[in-house]
Amino acid sequence: MINDSRTHGRCPMCDEIISAAHILVEYKKNNGATGIWAECLLCDDVVSPE
Ligand SMILES: [Zn+2]
């Protein structure tokens, strides 16, 4: 299992890897987890990486 701490998940729409440079916002979810909004260059849209 590969766990690269430099990435923050993949775009749920196109599966592109989201790198730290493309993160727009980090926030705390109600359950204490960290949520992210990031820009996907392929979709040209803001996504929530999975
Ligand atoms: Zn995408």
pLDDT tens by residue, 36-46 = 999 999 999 99
CA of 27 to the centre of ligand 1 (A): 20
d(CA 34, CA 13): 20
Cα–Cα distance, 14 to 27 (Å, whole number): 23
Residues 6+ apart with CB under 8 A from 48: 12, 35, 36, 37, 38
Please tell me whether the overall predicted TM-score, pTM, comes out greater than 0.85 for this model: no
pLDDT at 2: 53
Q: Report the pLDDT value the prediction gives residue 38, as an integer from 0 to 100.
A: 96
Cα of 3 to ligand 1 centre, how many Å?
Answer: 20
Distance in Å, CA 4 to ligand 1 centroid:
19
Tell me how far the alpha carbon of residue 9 lies from the centroid of ligand 1, in angstroms: 11
Per-residue pLDDT tens over the stretch 1-50 = 555 556 779 999 999 999 989 999 999 999 999 899 999 999 999 999 98
CA of 19 to the centre of ligand 1 (A): 12
